[in-house]
Structure 1
Amino acid sequence: MRFFASCGKGLEYLLVDELLALGCPHATATIAGANVTGSLRDALHAVMWSRLASRILWPLAEFDCADEHALYAGASAVDWTQHVPARGAIAIDAHVGGTGITHAQYAAQRVKDAIVDTMRAKTGERPDVDLHSPDVRISLVIRKQRAILSIDLSGAPMHRRGWRQRQGDAPLKENLAAAVLMRGKWPDVYRAGGALLDPMCGSGTLLIEGALMAADVAPGLMRHEDVPPTRWAGFDADAWADLRVEAIRREAAGRASLRPAFVGRDSDPQAMAPGAANAGASARSRMSAHSQSMTPASPATSELS
């Protein structure tokens, strides 16, 4: 089976390397993501462990889509009762281009209509719409008059790790921070005894991501805790439970061996306030040893050597 892992543009080849390292049998870079060959368990493994991906999308249907009528017909051909709880809630994320449908929100509305109509006809019930916390999030992509409908296995944007309590101006996304660290070979540097210093740490994203990588903490474990990422009817709960057990074991071992190797400085104490809050939030559940590493630089230590 083939699934899609999305990411920010420019991160595609790093993402491919990460997915292959996670055990996916095959992955190739494409625009803003990677096409991946693997099982549902491989996809869920990526949801748990990928630090670079934005979404993991499991395809349900692909069809020609020249206009809204073709979109409705193609979406109606899917047996949604096999995917969506009858009294659950759905959200549709739509991206369109190169087709007769030019408005993403309208395309999402037509897919919603198809889901509601087909489920009501089969069960007498229909799902609700919840854009913020749906039971099942559905992805629609239309390019060059071809539509792909997928289940969003990640449920929410994967750059949200769950530790960010506050942020400053123009915060660095967590998965972009992870990409910077991977490009700089940070895991190898840490294993060789090196340390991570951010002289303009602000809200602390780079340092916190570096600490989580060093401690071998799975991003999906922080993001979802005890709640599965989706209530999709095809979700493999046993596989997810196994992945959680493995992630918890690895985190415990990583925390036990984690050494103090993270220092954050910033010339603006106000810019550092979010960083202190975020370090504390991550420390309470993951890294208590490093909540004091972010201190404002004094004039005597403002020059780094």
Structure 2
Amino acid sequence: MTDTTSATSPRAPSNPLSTWFATCPRGIETLLADELTALGAEVTGTTVAGVHFNGSQEMAYRTILWSRLANRIIRLLTRVGGVDTGEQLRKASAGVDWAMELPDRASIAVDFHGTWKDIRHTFFGAQTVKDGIVEAMFEEGRNKPTVDGKGADLRIYAHLHNGYITLGIDLVGRSLHQRGYRPDIAHAPLKENLAAALLMRADWPARAARGESLVDPMCGSGTLLIEAALMAADIAPQALCEQFACRHWGRHDERIWTALREEMEQRAIAGRRQVTARLFGRDYSPQAISAARANAMRAGIPALIEFEGASVAELTCPEGATAGW
């Protein structure tokens, strides 16, 4: 089909827009796609460091609470092509029904990624998208949002690539790899969602269900073992976190959110009682062992992991570990 749209105006994309987009570390997109499918999402495609998917609002909320692999969950709003200039970017941004997405007087920040033709700086891109949002809100007779780079109620996702601008709202407001149990970090920390990816690659959830053991001889601050314990006990990765941007979203449904939080808490209570897997952590550093114990305590699973100061050279099969550890 020939594109007859004027070169001076943004044009609609040729492919349909997915409802949601989950970002993740590079290399685990397939694992994330499988996880999202298990959570009830309809995966529509993967890209570098992300997965597109469709599903209900309840499913998206469940993903925020239960995804062990994602960094952010974005509510996609539009994808527009033919965006080569700042003016075209502003028009594309103003074309979104922001009045339905942003509560009155909400504070926002624009996270702009990418460059293209006349749009060469991310700061300029972010400022232009903000101008479009303000214009759209003004047209609806709404108060303009305030801009707060650090403590915004909602963060606007803006990604420009090859003349296509994709706009959405980050419903988390921070990276989901931050679980809330790890303020004490040893040297060379492993991000929580990367630890979860390693465990999933090793089929740990099934192994834990069979009562197998896991030994980490250089456990550091305990991230791998804590993630393993959370999986074994059916505890959501966001169980400790209270602050989520979705609760400031204009379309937020507190009834759904509350029900999912209650379900999450009940599953954790039942899951802790059913754990039969044994987890053992060793590290030569006393500081690392101290941090690991403190992190496990904050995560609510101190009884599920046995920590001990020891070097790798002294490693033997821990008493009580299953064969094949």
Q: TM-score, normalised by structure 2?
A: 0.85
Q: Does 1:295 align with 2:308?
A: yes
Aligned to 2:274: 257
Q: CA deviation at 1:121?
A: 5.2
**Equivalent position SS for 1:118:** helix
Structure of larger gyration radius: 2
Residue number in structure 2 paired with 1:204: 222
Q: Which residue of 1 aligns with 2:72?
A: 55
**What's the counterpart of residue 176 of structure 1?**
194
Name the counterpart of 2:320: none
Distance 1:298 1:51, change over 3 A: closer
Distance 1:13 1:155 in 2: 24
Choose from 162, 170, 175 the match for 1:152.
170
In 2: Cα distance, 1:260 partner to 1:187 partner = 10
Find out whether 1:304 has 2:316 as its counterpart.
Answer: yes
**Where does residue 94 of structure 1 map in the other structure?**
112
Report the more deviating stretch, 145-154 or 177-186: 145-154
Provide the secondary structure at the position in 1 that maps to 2:181: coil
Counterpart amino acid of 2:72?
Answer: R
Does 2:208 correspond to 1:190? yes
Instruction: Give 1:187's aligned amino acid.
Output: P
- Letter paired with 2:31: L
Matched with 1:245 is: 262
Worse overlay, 15-24 or 260-269 = 260-269
Kindly indicate whether the alpha-carbon contact (under 8 Å) linking 1:136 and 1:230 is maintained by their aligned counterparts in 2: no
Which residues in structure 2 correspond to 1:129-148 (within 5 Å)?
Answer: 129-148=147-166
Indicate conservation of the 8 Å contact 1:155/1:230, yes or no. Answer: no
How large is the Cα RMSD of the aligned pairs?
2.1
The answer to whether residue 230 in structure 2 is matched with residue 216 in structure 1 is no
Q: Which of 278, 282, 286 is 1:269 aligned to?
A: 286
CA distance in structure 2 between the partners assigned to 1:228 and 1:252 by the alignment: 26
Deviation at 1:298, TM superposition (A): 5.9
State the alpha-carbon separation in 1 of the partners of residues 200 and 122 from structure 2: 34
Separation in 1, partners of 2:259, 2:234: 17
1-structure distance, mates of 2:222, 2:39: 26
DSSP-derived class of the 2:240 partner? helix
CA shift for structure 1 position 32:
0.9
> 1:66-100: CA deviations, max 9, x gaps?
12111111111223222112222111111114554
Following superposition, the deviation at residue 228 of structure 1 comes to 6.5
Aligned partner of 2:133 in structure 1 is: 115
Q: CA deviation at 1:120?
A: 4.2
Report the secondary structure of 2:52's partner residue: strand
For the structure 1 residues 101 and 189, does the alpha-carbon distance in structure 2 shift closer, same or farther, using more than 3 Å as the test?
A: same
Q: Distance in 2 between matches of 1:235 and 1:99?
A: 37
Tell me the distance in 1 between the aligned counterparts of 2:273 and 2:153. 36
CA distance in 1, matches of 2:64, 2:74: 10
Contact 1:44 1:240 in 2 (8 A): yes
Please give the alpha-carbon distance, in whole angstroms, between the structure 1 residues aligned to 2:311 and 2:46.
45
| Structure 1 residue 146, shift from structure 2 partner | 0.2
Query: 1:165-192 CA deviation, whole Å, 9 max, x = no partner?
Result: 2112331111000000000011111111
Q: Does 1:2 align with 2:19?
A: yes
CA 1:155–1:230: 2 relative to 1, 3 Å: farther
Q: Is 1:85 aligned to residue 99 of structure 2?
A: no
Query: 2-side partners of 1:287 and 1:93: how far apart?
Result: 35
- 1:138-157 per-position Cα deviation (integer Å, ceiling 9, x unaligned): 10011111001111122221
Q: 1:126 maps to which residue?
A: 144
Tell me if structure 2 keeps the 8 A contact 1:47–1:154. yes
Shift of 1:198: 0.8
Higher helix proportion (structure 1 or 2): 1
Q: Which residue does 1:36 correspond to in 2?
A: 53
**Structure 1 spans left out of the alignment, 5+ residues:** none
Matches of 2:316 and 2:182 in 1, distance apart?
28
Alpha carbons 2:211, 2:277 under 8 Å: kept: no
Deviations 1:234-288 (A, max 9, x none): 1232222221122111111101223461211111223333222212221xxx224
